[in-house]
């Protein structure tokens, strides 16, 4: 700890973002889930936690809006041995054996659920580093047991398919499963720009879901509405307690060229920062995840953007937790 200089390059033996804090000293606890068994395309999402950890050492700690909030501690747990076991088993299962794959993903969900539950019990903020988008389910279930939460999903896709390719817990069905299996009171989707009719009909028929399609956001901005006005409208309709799920493909493909299903469009990075920082000053973020980052060994762009977006989520969650003197667990 005494060697820590927040202005200097990260010590190679330091923790995530070059921070010196241990688990006891940290209010944000990150869990890594190197999992891509349900990804549609060949991606390297399972390699994301390690690549993000490595890229995180380059992130400057001082934050434009929140200063040195990192001093409240961010800690990355080592990979849960149970997750390693499931991953090993999965690698031996034929991709065609849907029954077995569904059983293993259900087991994984329970492990994540228990890990997140434990972090919440300690009054801390859990953050999940995926992995494909299916890793969110256990975390959201645990958070929705704790508080009446809404999920704020940043994603190019609606992820509301009833099942995808015979896989119940597919990345493409994550929010369908969240709606049906967790206790969330609201799902707000931002930036969605690829979806099927079944998903569109589901959005329109389910009053828990509010989707701000990418085209709608673009059109409103084009016709003169400010991002401030649009953000305020969205944020005013959110419940008090939130879980944020950030799929990296939410951003324009120039920021995540290696992700499994990139789609053109999406918000600018600064618009994202403006939005989540606004959320952090009026709502309480009790948990979050970053998913679908697919490392690119050539330019390391996806993991560098991912590390910065993750840092932003950590600080926004910390900021939101200190809104008043009460701990969010009341
Ligand atoms: Mn997604």
What would the DSSP string read from start to end of 130-170? Answer: ESSGGGHHHHHHHHHHHS-EEEEEE-SB----S-BTTBTT-
Choice among 104-118, 166-180, 204-218 with the minimum mean pLDDT: 166-180
* pLDDT-above-70 percentage for the chain: 95
Q: What is the pLDDT of residue 100?
A: 85
How close is the Cα of 10 to the center of ligand 1, in Å? 31
Cα 6 to middle of ligand 1, angstroms: 34
Q: Cα(291) to centroid of ligand 1, in Å?
A: 7
Instruction: Say if 7 falls within a structural domain.
Output: no
The Cα 279–Cα 284 span in angstroms is: 8
Asked if residue 8 belongs to a domain, the reply is no
Q: Edge to edge, what strands does the sheet with 209-213 contain?
A: 74-76, 28-33, 125-130, 284-291, 241-247, 149-154, 186-192, 209-213
Which domain covers residue 244, as residue numbers?
16-321
- Alpha carbons within 13 angstroms on the beta-carbon side of residue 43 total 30
Does a structural domain hold residue 68?
yes
* Within a domain: 6: no
Ligand 1 centroid to Cα of residue 169, in Å, is: 12
- Distances from the Cα of 135 to the Cαs of 140, 143, 277, 288, in angstroms? 9, 14, 24, 11
* CA–centroid distance, residue 71 to ligand 1 (Å): 31
What distance in angstroms lies between residue 153's CA and the mean position of ligand 1's atoms?
A: 8
pLDDT band at 113; cut points 50, 70, 90: very high
CA gap 269, 249 in Å, rounded: 12
Query: What does the alpha-carbon distance between residue 302 and residue 322 come to, in Å, rounded to a whole number?
Result: 31
CA distances, 274 to each of 188, 268, 298 (Å): 17, 10, 30
- For residue 74, the CA-to-ligand 1 centroid distance in Å is 25
Spatial CA neighbour of 181 closest among 136, 147, 128: 136
Assigned domain for 2 exists: no
Q: Is residue 327 one of the residues assigned to a domain?
A: no
pLDDT at position 326 over 50 = no
The per-residue pLDDT for 1 is: 55
Residue 169, domain CATH: 3.40.800.10
Kindly give, in sequence order, each residue whose CB lies less than 8 Å from that of residue 155, ignoring residues fewer than 6 positions away: 133, 189, 190, 191, 192, 245, 247, 249, 250
* CA 134 – ligand 1 centroid, Å: 8
Has residue 62 got a pLDDT over 60?
yes
267-276 pLDDT tens trace: 999 999 999 9
Q: By the 8 A CB rule, do 188 and 152 touch?
A: yes
Contacts of 15 (CB under 8 A, 6+ apart): 21, 22, 74, 75, 76
Distance 172 CA to ligand 1 centre (A): 6
Residue 87 Cα to ligand 1 midpoint, Å, equals 20
Residue 40's pLDDT is what?
Answer: 57
Weakest-pLDDT range from 7-21, 125-139, 273-287: 7-21
Provide mean pLDDT across the span 285-305.
Answer: 94
For the cut 80, the answer to whether the pLDDT of residue 41 exceeds it is: no
Q: How far is CA 154 from CA 22, 58, 78, in A?
A: 30, 24, 26
In whole numbers, what is the pLDDT of the chain averaged over residues? 92
Please, how many CA atoms are within 13 Å of residue 175, restricted to the half-sphere of its CB? 33
Distance CA 42, CA 45 (A): 9
Ligand 1 centre to CA of 4 (Å) is: 37
Beta strands in the chain (DSSP E): 28-33, 74-76, 125-130, 149-154, 186-192, 209-213, 241-247, 284-291
Band of residue 42 on the pLDDT scale cut at 50, 70, 90:
low
How many whole angstroms separate alpha carbon 48 and alpha carbon 81?
A: 18
Q: Are 31 and 129 in contact (CB under 8 A)?
A: yes
Q: What is the whole-number distance in angstroms between the Cα of residue 218 and the centre of ligand 1?
A: 20
Q: What does the angle CA 300 – CA 301 – CA 307 come to, to the nearest 5 degrees?
A: 90
- Domain-embedded: residue 10: no
Question: Taking the model in full, what pTM does it have?
Answer: 0.95
**Per-residue pLDDT at 70 exceeds 50:** yes
Return the number of other C-beta atoms located less than 10 Å from residue 41's C-beta: 10
Domain tally for the chain?
1
What pLDDT, on a 0 to 100 scale, did the predictor assign at position 248? Answer: 96
CA of 250 to the centre of ligand 1 (A): 8
Distance 11 CA to ligand 1 centre (A): 34
100: in domain: yes
Chain centroid offset of residue 176 CA = 16
Report how far ligand 1's centroid is from the alpha carbon of 157 (Å). 6
């Amino acid at each position: 700890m005494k060697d820590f200089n927040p202005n200097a390059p990260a010590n190679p033996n330091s923790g995530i973002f070059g921070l010196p804090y241990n688990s006891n000293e940290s209010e944000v606890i990150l869990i890594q889930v190197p999992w891509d068994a349900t990804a549609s395309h060949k991606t390297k999402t399972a390699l994301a936690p390690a690549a993000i950890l490595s890229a995180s050492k380059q992130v400057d700690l001082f934050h434009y809006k929140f200063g040195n909030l990192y001093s409240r501690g961010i800690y990355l747990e080592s990979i849960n041995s149970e997750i390693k076991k499931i991953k090993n088993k999965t690698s031996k299962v034929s991709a065609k054996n849907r029954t077995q794959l569904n059983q293993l993903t259900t087991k994984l969900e329970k492990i994540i659920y228990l890990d997140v539950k434990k972090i919440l019990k300690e009054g801390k903020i859990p953050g999940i580093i995926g992995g494909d988008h299916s890793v969110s389910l256990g975390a959201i279930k645990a958070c929705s047991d704790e508080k009446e939460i809404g999920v704020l999903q940043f994603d190019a896709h609606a992820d509301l398919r009833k099942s995808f390719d015979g896989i119940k817990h597919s990345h493409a069905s994550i929010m369908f499963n969240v709606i049906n299996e967790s206790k969330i009171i609201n799902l707000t989707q931002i930036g969605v720009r690829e979806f099927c009719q079944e998903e569109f009909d589901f959005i329109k028929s389910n009053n828990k879901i509010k989707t701000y399609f990418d085209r709608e956001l673009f059109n409103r901005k084009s016709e003169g509405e400010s991002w401030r006005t649009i953000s305020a409208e969205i944020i005013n309709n959110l419940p008090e307690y939130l879980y944020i799920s950030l799929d990296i493909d939410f951003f324009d493909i120039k920021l995540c060229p290696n992700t499994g299903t990139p789609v053109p469009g999406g918000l600018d990075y600064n618009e994202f920062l403006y939005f989540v920082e606004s959320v952090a000053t009026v709502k309480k973020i009790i948990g979050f995840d970053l998913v679908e980052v697919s490392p690119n060994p050539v330019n390391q762009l996806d993991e560098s953007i991912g590390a910065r977006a993750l840092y932003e989520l950590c600080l926004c969650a910390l900021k939101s937790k200190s809104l008043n003197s009460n701990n969010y667990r009341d």
